[in-house]
């Protein structure tokens, strides 16, 4: 038999998957799946792990509010801007290869963060760390899409969604534990705590690198396309003109450049869409093909990711500040307050696949209603219990909200990518993760700025309650949009 494979492909976003008649495609085994999920966990953990370390970074490096926000936002901006490009490069050069490069770079940049001598060095290392994460993460979803099928793919996608949600909560738990428990070494002294939240990535990345080299199959697009330079630049400008002023505006006093940048955002976004649509119509392969957005499952799933991630990203930042500065909890206690949410999320994500087979996408609607109850309970608890509120008082609301989130996020991820053809797996994964990361950063910027603006005049309690009510509105929007999802989940 000829070594060439007989393939059936089409150029449309609704093309049939690649069919190989003479030999099976690459298969992602259990250990390989664990390895790529580890790669998915690291970037999300590091987005949130720094929240509980910000007070000690400020104390040790005299960073100030503006630089502290850059420590968070610099990572998030680089990550969001380069994710789609990372997916395209994986399609071209090989996803395993880009995963290896990304995880190695993530380990090295984490080392640079942990050894940073001053605040500006830390900001620069965080930007580089975010860029490394953008090379690594899109390869995870693309590899799952290309190297699994049927029940194994559904299970892998559910595990990916569970990993993503758990990582966001576990980041703050782990960060609090590391800041509190790091030894006072003669090398780092009092800075050992915050440095450990970055240095812990180095051995994990090394293990991931070895495992990936042995267990992750190489996959790539059957029709690799060149990098869409105009699209890449315009997407970067669009995200930067929106996210940079929102994250830095409050701390910098809203200077003129922030307003100019926000005014430029709609023009940059419109130019990006026109350039991509023109390339799509000419038969080229743009960075974000508008034809891909015609997939109902992807389009409607992304619409849910936006309010979900805005609310979640803002909540995780605000609760870390409120617990440490308002209730005077230490980093460990602040992190452990998230434990009920993490445990409940994990339990719900395990039950999700079985519930989806029976109830379809209505599981997302049920999860939204449950999360709304949890957020409302949290708001009422804060209103009535502040300032004598402890970890036990927060537990019921955290657990209920976490359970609702666990029913939503893994299923939403499955729905978004369910109809994306394998040859566009990298692009589809990049679009989804870019949307998620950009809106997580947007949540930190908007809800975080709202909370920090209200706290000096209204007090921590009222500021936190208002922020929780805004998140409740985002949950209500997610729940309403879930009614438009395709009933059957592939």
- Tens digit of each residue's pLDDT (9 = 90 or more) over 403-428: 999 888 888 888 887 777 766 666 77
- Among the listed residues 376, 424, 370, 445, the one whose alpha carbon sits nearest the alpha carbon of residue 400: 370
Most confident of 105-109, 145-149, 354-358: 105-109
As a whole number of angstroms, the distance between CA 377 and CA 173 comes to 21
pLDDT value, residue 182 = 62
Percent of the chain residues topping a pLDDT of 70: 91
The residue ranking higher by pLDDT, 192 or 324, is 324
As a whole number of angstroms, the distance between CA 201 and CA 110 comes to 6
* pLDDT band of 4, cuts 50, 70, 90: very low
* pLDDT band of 14, cuts 50, 70, 90: very low
Q: 116, exposed or middle or buried, with CB in 10 Å at 0-12, 13-18, 19+?
A: buried
pLDDT value, residue 425 = 66
What average pLDDT does range 157-166 have in this prediction?
80
**What is the tens place of the pLDDT at every residue in 216-270?**
998 877 776 677 888 888 988 998 898 888 878 887 788 999 999 999 999 999 9
Contact of 238 with 265, CB cutoff 8 Å: yes
As a whole number of angstroms, the distance between CA 63 and CA 487 comes to 49
Chain centroid to CA 62: 28
* Inter-CA distances, 337 with 29, 172, 252, 453, 475, Å: 35, 9, 31, 24, 21
DSSP class of residue 53 equals: G
Mean pLDDT of the chain: 83
pLDDT value, residue 375 = 94
pLDDT value, residue 154 = 77
* pLDDT band of 478, cuts 50, 70, 90: very high
In 10 A of CB 457, how many CB atoms? 8
pLDDT value, residue 452 = 84
pLDDT value, residue 393 = 87
pLDDT value, residue 11 = 37
Most confident of 174-178, 194-198, 322-326, 432-436: 194-198
Residue linked to tokens 């038969």? 283
Q: 63, exposed or middle or buried, with CB in 10 Å at 0-12, 13-18, 19+?
A: buried
**What is the tens place of the pLDDT at every residue in 23-53?**
356 788 889 999 999 998 998 888 878 877 8
Contacts of 313 (CB under 8 A, 6+ apart): 439, 440, 441, 442, 443, 444, 447
**What is the tens place of the pLDDT at every residue in 373-399?**
999 999 999 999 888 887 888 899 999
Rounded to the nearest 10 degrees, the angle between the axes of helix 192-199 and helix 54-61 is 120
- Three-class SS string for 337-395? CCHHHHHHHHHHHHHHHHHHHHHCCHHHHHHHHHHHHHHHHHHHHHHHHCCCCCHHHHH
For 363-384, letters b (16+ CB in 10 Å) and e give bbbbbbebbbbbbbbbbebbee
What's the half-sphere exposure (Cβ side, CA atoms, 13 Å) at 1? Answer: 8
Percent of the chain residues topping a pLDDT of 90: 27
């Amino acid at each position: 038999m000829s070594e060439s494979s007989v393939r059936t492909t089409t150029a449309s976003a609704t093309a049939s998957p690649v069919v190989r008649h003479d030999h099976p495609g690459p298969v992602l085994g259990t250990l390989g799946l664990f390895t790529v999920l580890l790669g998915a966990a690291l970037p999300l953990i590091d987005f949130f792990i720094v929240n509980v370390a910000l007070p000690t970074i400020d104390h040790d490096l005299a960073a100030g509010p503006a630089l502290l926000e850059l420590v968070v936002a610099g990572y998030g901006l680089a990550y969001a801007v380069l994710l789609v490009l990372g997916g395209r490069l994986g399609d071209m050069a090989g996803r395993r290869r880009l995963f290896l490069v990304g995880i190695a770079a993530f380990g090295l940049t984490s080392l640079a963060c942990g050894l940073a001598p001053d605040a500006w060095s830390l900001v620069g290392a965080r930007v580089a760390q975010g860029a490394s994460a953008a090379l690594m993460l899109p390869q995870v979803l693309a590899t799952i899409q290309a190297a699994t099928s049927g029940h194994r793919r559904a299970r892998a996608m559910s595990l990916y969604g569970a990993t993503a949600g758990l990582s966001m909560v576990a980041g703050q738990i782990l960060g609090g534990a590391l800041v509190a428990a790091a030894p006072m070494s003669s090398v780092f002294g009092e800075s050992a705590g915050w440095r450990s939240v970055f240095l812990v990535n180095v051995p994990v990345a090394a293990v991931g690198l070895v495992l990936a080299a042995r267990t992750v199959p190489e996959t790539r697009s059957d029709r690799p396309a060149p990098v869409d330079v105009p699209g890449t630049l315009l997407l970067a400008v669009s995200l930067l003109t929106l996210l940079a002023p929102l994250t830095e505006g409050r701390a910098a006093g809203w200077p003129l450049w922030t307003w100019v940048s926000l005014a430029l955002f709609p023009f940059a976004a419109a130019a990006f869409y026109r350039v991509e649509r023109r390339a799509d119509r000419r038969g080229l392969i743009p960075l974000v093909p508008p034809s891909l957005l015609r997939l109902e499952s992807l389009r409607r799933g992304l619409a849910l990711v936006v309010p979900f991630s805005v609310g979640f990203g803002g909540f995780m930042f605000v609760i870390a500040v409120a617990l440490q500065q308002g209730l005077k909890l230490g980093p460990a206690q602040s992190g452990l307050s998230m434990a009920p949410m993490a445990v409940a999320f994990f339990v719900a994500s395990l039950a999700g696949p079985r519930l989806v087979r029976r109830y379809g996408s209505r599981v997302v609607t049920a999860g939204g209603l449950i999360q709304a109850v949890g957020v409302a309970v949290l708001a009422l608890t804060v209103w009535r219990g502040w300032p004598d509120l402890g970890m036990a008082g927060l537990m019921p609301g955290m657990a209920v909200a976490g359970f609702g989130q666990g029913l939503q996020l893994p299923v939403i991820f499955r729905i978004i990518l369910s109809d994306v053809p394998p040859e566009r797996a990298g692009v589809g994964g990049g679009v989804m993760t870019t949307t998620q990361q950009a809106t997580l950063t947007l949540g930190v910027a908007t809800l975080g700025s709202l909370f920090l603006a209200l706290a000096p005049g209204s007090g921590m309690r009222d500021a936190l309650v208002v922020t929780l009510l805004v998140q409740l509105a985002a949950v209500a929007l997610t729940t309403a949009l879930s009614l438009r999802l395709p009933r059957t989940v592939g």
